[in-house]
Amino acid sequence: MRRNWWIPFRNPFRGNPFRGGLFRRMVASYALVTVLSFLLLGTLVSRMIERYYIRSTTQDLLASGSQAATAFQSFLEDRIDASSLQQKLSLEEHSSGILFLVIPVGADLPAKLELWAHPSGNEFTSSELQAIGSGHQVAKFGQIPGHAGETISVAVPILTGGQAVGAVSIHAPFLALRQTIQAVIRIIWISAALALALAVVLTYWNSWRIAGPLIRLAGLAREVARGNFGVRLPETSADEVGRLAASFNHMAAELERQEAMRGDFLASVAHELRSPLTSIRGFSRAILDGTAGPEQQAHYLEIIRSEADRLARLTGDLLDLAQFDAGQMHLARAAMDLNELARRVMASLTPQVEAARLDLELATDIFPIMVLADRDRVEQILANLLNNAVRYSPPGGRIDIRIRRDDRVARVDVSDKGVGIPPEDLFRIWERFYRVDKSRSRALGGTGLGLALVKELVEAHGGTVGVESALGKGTTFWFTLPLV
Ligand SMILES: Nc1ncnc2c1ncn2[C@@H]1O[C@H](COP(=O)(O)OP(=O)(O)OP(=O)(O)O)[C@@H](O)[C@H]1O
Ligand SMILES: [Mg+2]
């Protein structure tokens, strides 16, 4: 197997996230969000500035207008003369850059105010003039004739004896404010561009971190598909990407392990097939070329037959296991009596039991013990366990089968007084081809598949299997099956 440990480290910048759709989608969404937020921000901020500016300018203008109106009032009531009035007005005009003009409301202007009269009438509507005439201050914002651009206009009535005899009108152009707002919007757009650039950089970095490993993962997945299970991703982060890398590595390790197991399994199969085939070839050749005498010929044929039997059993077991592996083992379950089945299996074993001078006993209820199971398969389970017990018992020994109801299951125990199994082998005997004593088992015709198949079969029925053994004293195998 090729092991390319170096693959993940070939080039850390391999897997350009700019190429994939992920990066483009992420940049597009970040850009959209950035532009939209700044657009919203710009609109809101310029509106707010505009409103604030209009309100505060209007208040300032009204305050100046009120002062001027009071000055005009004092002048009209002869408390100050024209020069000190002009002085007051000039002072204010100079500091705030506005011009105080007097407009008539209703009647003509008093002659004393002619000097400050608006040269071209006024910019207020008749209803506004009416409001001013009844002593109210008026302020408005917008385009007015004779002025370029938007203007804030206020008018403050000049009162004498509680009567409005005219009004101070002030106009402040909005141009400066427009320029301020434009400057603010420019700043906002520059920030937006900077934020966008930052978003692109961050997105690139982020998507490199996400898409980079994904692209590498895709490459390694192709390696795995080609059968190179040695590849691994570096597990550098603890986030989702890191967890994905860990899962991938776990999968690759598992595949590698299974591949190794499959290799071992195939080697074992080939090995098990070879020794019976070798004997069959050898003995048949001896018969054919006449080296074996008539006596020996019968003996050799007997060996050939038993080796052929063994091959048949081996291939049968392998086929069954393959069916389990492919998930295609179908059980023809039906209600059946365990006691009756046990007696039949015992009867079929009589020749071997008698040959080994064994004592085979069955202890059970007199009533049938009905289980829901595939008859042939249960027979296979029991025959395997009994065969083992016979095989691994010394001549003259005793084998006990015990069948009983146990809660919701039927339990079958097969005990022998044979060689026993060492504790360190106990948990491995269920593995395929595992034999405690290889040469002894093979000499006895075993391949080490029996218990593996027993376990699969019992578990397919929803039962459990187990073993207890004491070395040199004996072994008990047990299994359960669901009662009807
Ligand atoms: N009753 C037993 N007493 C002692 N050892 C046993 C007993 N049953 C099984 N074993 C040990 O467990 C091993 C695995 O048993 P298993 O039935 O799977 O294989 P096998 O009997 O060697 O061959 P097969 O059953 O495929 O013909 C045996 O090789 C043997 O070492
Ligand atoms: Mg066996």
Residue minimizing CA distance to atom 10 of ligand 1: 388
Residue 381: the pLDDT is: 97
Spatial CA neighbour of 122 closest among 155, 152, 99:
155
Confidence band (pLDDT; 50, 70, 90) for 12? very low
For residue 78, what are the β-bridge partners? none
Please check the confidence at residue 2 and state whether its pLDDT lies above 50: no
Confidence band (pLDDT; 50, 70, 90) for 38? confident
Which ligand 1 atom is nearest residue 449's CA? 26
154 within 8 A of 139, measured Cβ to Cβ? yes
Residue 5: the pLDDT is: 42
For a mutational test of ligand 1's pocket, the pick from 435, 449, 458, i.e. the residue with the most ligand atoms closer than 8 A to its C-beta, is 435
CA distances from 430 to 417, 433, 456, 467 (A): 20, 9, 9, 10
Residue minimizing CA distance to atom 19 of ligand 1: 448
Q: 341 CA to middle of ligand 1, Å? A: 22
Does residue 447 line the site of ligand 1, with CB under 6 A?
Answer: yes
Confidence band (pLDDT; 50, 70, 90) for 353? very high
Does residue 429 line the site of ligand 1, with CB under 6 A?
Answer: yes
Residue 18: the pLDDT is: 55
Q: What is the pLDDT of residues 78-130, one digit of tens each?
A: 999 989 999 988 988 888 778 899 998 877 888 888 888 888 777 888 899 89
Confidence band (pLDDT; 50, 70, 90) for 213? confident
Average pLDDT rounded to a whole number, residues 132-146: 87
Q: How crowded is the C-beta side of 65, counted as CA atoms within 13 Å?
A: 29
Confidence band (pLDDT; 50, 70, 90) for 34? confident
Average pLDDT rounded to a whole number, residues 130-143: 90
Residue minimizing CA distance to atom 29 of ligand 1: 435
Distance between CA 392 and CA 397 in Å, rounded?
10
Does residue 475 line the site of ligand 1, with CB under 6 A?
Answer: yes
For a mutational test of ligand 1's pocket, the pick from 273, 388, 393, i.e. the residue with the most ligand atoms closer than 8 A to its C-beta, is 388
* The two three-digit tokens of residue 272, written as one number: 């098990």
Does residue 435 line the site of ligand 1, with CB under 6 A?
Answer: yes
Which ligand 1 atom is nearest residue 434's CA? 14
Closest ligand to 478 CA?
1
Residue minimizing CA distance to atom 31 of ligand 1: 436
For a mutational test of ligand 1's pocket, the pick from 441, 442, 453, 469, i.e. the residue with the most ligand atoms closer than 8 A to its C-beta, is 441
Confidence band (pLDDT; 50, 70, 90) for 19? low
Confidence band (pLDDT; 50, 70, 90) for 27? confident
105 within 8 A of 129, measured Cβ to Cβ? yes
Closest ligand to 415 CA?
1
Residue 13: the pLDDT is: 44
CA angle, residues 166, 171, 176, in degrees to nearest 5: 170
Residue 10: the pLDDT is: 41
Average pLDDT rounded to a whole number, residues 222-234: 91
Closest ligand to 422 CA?
1
Confidence band (pLDDT; 50, 70, 90) for 417? very high
Residue 359: the pLDDT is: 95
Distance between CA 86 and CA 76 in Å, rounded?
13
Does residue 169 line the site of ligand 1, with CB under 6 A?
Answer: no
Average pLDDT rounded to a whole number, residues 10-15: 45
Sheet architecture: strand order including 359-363: 359-363, 398-406, 409-416, 474-482, 465-470
Gyration radius from the chain CA atoms: 53
Which ligand 1 atom is nearest residue 437's CA? 31
Which ligand 1 atom is nearest residue 477's CA? 1
- Sort 78 into a burial class: Cβ within 10 Å, 0-12 / 13-18 / 19+: exposed
274 within 8 A of 447, measured Cβ to Cβ? no
Does residue 165 line the site of ligand 1, with CB under 6 A?
Answer: no
* The two three-digit tokens of residue 72, written as one number: 């005009």
Longest dimension (CA), the chain: 164
* The two three-digit tokens of residue 388, written as one number: 């083992």
- Sort 142 into a burial class: Cβ within 10 Å, 0-12 / 13-18 / 19+: exposed
Does residue 390 line the site of ligand 1, with CB under 6 A?
Answer: no
For a mutational test of ligand 1's pocket, the pick from 382, 451, 453, 465, i.e. the residue with the most ligand atoms closer than 8 A to its C-beta, is 451
Residue minimizing CA distance to atom 23 of ligand 1: 446
Please check the confidence at residue 151 and state whether its pLDDT lies above 50: yes
- Torsions phi, psi of 56, nearest 5? -70, -35
* The two three-digit tokens of residue 28, written as one number: 């597009």
Residue 4: the pLDDT is: 42
pTM above 0.85, yes or no: no
Which ligand 1 atom is nearest residue 414's CA? 1
Lowest-confidence region among 6-20, 22-36, 427-441: 6-20
Residue 196: the pLDDT is: 83
Please check the confidence at residue 1 and state whether its pLDDT lies above 50: no
Q: What is the pLDDT of residues 418-456, one digit of tens each?
A: 999 999 999 999 999 999 887 777 777 788 999 999 999
Residue minimizing CA distance to atom 25 of ligand 1: 450
**Residues in the chain, how many?**
484
Does residue 399 line the site of ligand 1, with CB under 6 A?
Answer: no
DSSP string, 298-352: HHHHHHHHHHHHHHHHHHHHHHHHHHHHTT-----EEEEEHHHHHHHHHHHTHHH
Does residue 415 line the site of ligand 1, with CB under 6 A?
Answer: no
Does residue 480 line the site of ligand 1, with CB under 6 A?
Answer: no
Spatial CA neighbour of 376 closest among 316, 444, 464:
316
Residue 31: the pLDDT is: 82
Task: Provide the residues around ligand 2 (an ion) whose CB is within 5 A.
Answer: 388, 450
Q: What is the pLDDT of residues 156-192, one digit of tens each?
A: 999 888 888 899 999 888 777 778 888 888 888 898 8
Q: What is the pLDDT of residues 270-324, one digit of tens each?
A: 988 998 999 999 999 999 998 888 889 999 999 999 999 999 999 999 999 999 9
Average pLDDT rounded to a whole number, residues 195-219: 83
Over the chain, what is the mean pLDDT? 88
Q: What is the pLDDT of residues 371-409, one digit of tens each?
A: 999 999 999 999 999 999 999 999 999 999 999 998 899
Residue 20: the pLDDT is: 58
